[in-house]
Amino acid sequence: MATLVLLRHGESVWNAEGLFTGWVDVDLSEKGEEEAVTGGDLLLDADLKLDVVHTSVLKRAIRTANIALDAAEQLWIPVRRSWRLNERHYGALQGKNKAQTREEYGDEQFMTWRRSYDTPPPPIADDDPLSQINDPRYALLPSELIPRTECLADVVDRLLPYWYDAVVPDLAAGRTVLIAAHGNSLRALVKHLDGISDEDIAGLNIPTGIPLLYELDEDFEPLKKGGEYLDPEAAKESIAAVANQGKK
Ligand code: DG2
């Protein structure tokens, strides 16, 4: 049996402003920092002894992991980071207001861009100031691997090699693993773990800052589908808030 803990970063400043974020490297809001502390307190209360943390290369996930691990008195554990755990690239929607986008394009188009499995938003231009094409942290990636937009299916495709090559070996070695990542990169992973269909994944939302615990069997499949939030009540409330983003 292996133990895996998933943690979406605390609220970011762009989450708070209702902006599509994707690969833009925004920081946590004050509330997001508090959520990360609470997430760490939950890890401590559950007596979870983590052996390794994997994060994206975006500071809202990195800082959430640090703050939560500090609160859990485990800031010392080894860390690995990968762009493969990054948020879904939101293409030309990055930086746009969710409510305004919904108003401008209508509910159906808005939800297709936000939650359909295989329809990406329009791509971002390489000369757009919010493009990541010249970001030094991706300098070693071939340009064609740097996304200009992504749908969730694209995230599953780029995330699974990291799952199998980096996370599964840790789990197989008996390590308790924390993954600190994002709403959509974690939706992609949960889809894989729980075997959720392309249609049903549209209805899954991940709350900010609340650890989600999975016990996995010898095939790294969940003993309990959906795992278990360490604070189920708070998770319910936060999930509803994420689902309602973009509504007035
Ligand atoms: C949010 C997710 O990502 O937004 O990119 O705007 O988890 O990094 O804050 P995160 C974004 P939705 O897909 O839920 O609209």
Residue 158 placed within a domain: yes
Model ipTM? 0.95
Contact call for residues 23 and 86 (beta carbons, < 8 A): yes
Residue 16 placed within a domain: yes
Locate the ligand 1 atom nearest the alpha carbon of residue 246 and give its number: 15
> Is residue 164 annotated as involved in ligand binding?
no
Structure tokens at 127: 């000369």
Active site residue 182: no
Average pLDDT along the chain: 97
Q: Which long-range contacts (CB under 8 A, 24 or more apart) does 98-103 make?
A: 98/18, 98/19, 98/20, 98/245, 98/246, 99/18, 99/246, 99/247, 99/248, 101/20, 101/246, 102/246, 102/247
Burial of 234 (0-12, 13-18, 19+ CB in 10 A): middle
Residue 30 placed within a domain: yes
- Residue with the nearest Cα to atom 8 of ligand 1? 182
Q: Tell me if 90 CB under 6 Å of ligand 1.
A: yes
pLDDT for 248: 66
Residue 78 placed within a domain: yes
C-alpha distances (whole Å) from 52 to each of 18, 35, 173, 177 are 32, 21, 11, 5
Q: Tell me if 109 CB under 6 Å of ligand 1.
A: no
**Centroid of ligand 1 to alpha carbon of 152 (angstroms):** 12
> Is residue 113 annotated as involved in ligand binding?
no
**Centroid of ligand 1 to alpha carbon of 184 (angstroms):** 7
Domain of 69 in residue numbering reads as 2-243
Locate the ligand 1 atom nearest the alpha carbon of residue 19 and give its number: 6
Residue 248 placed within a domain: no
Q: Tell me if 214 CB under 6 Å of ligand 1.
A: no
Q: Is 139 helix (H, G, I), strand (E, B) or coil?
A: coil
CA dihedral 134, 137, 143, 149 (to 10 degrees): -80
Q: Tell me if 242 CB under 6 Å of ligand 1.
A: yes
Residue 116 placed within a domain: yes
Contact call for residues 228 and 46 (beta carbons, < 8 A): no
Q: Tell me if 15 CB under 6 Å of ligand 1.
A: yes
Structure tokens at 55: 């994060």
C-alpha distances (whole Å) from 171 to each of 5, 114, 178 are 11, 31, 10
* pLDDT means over runs of 10, the chain (248 residues): 97 97 98 98 98 98 98 98 98 98 97 97 97 96 95 98 98 98 98 98 97 97 98 96 87
**The CATH number of the domain where 211 resides is what?**
3.40.50.1240
**Centroid of ligand 1 to alpha carbon of 24 (angstroms):** 11
pLDDT for 234: 96
Active site residue 215: no
Bridge partners of residue 79, in order along the sequence: 53
Locate the ligand 1 atom nearest the alpha carbon of residue 22 and give its number: 5
Among residues 35, 54, 87, 182, the one annotated as catalytic is 87
pLDDT for 247: 82
- Total of domains in the chain: 1
Model confidence pLDDT, tens digit, residues 55-79? 999 999 999 999 999 999 999 999 9
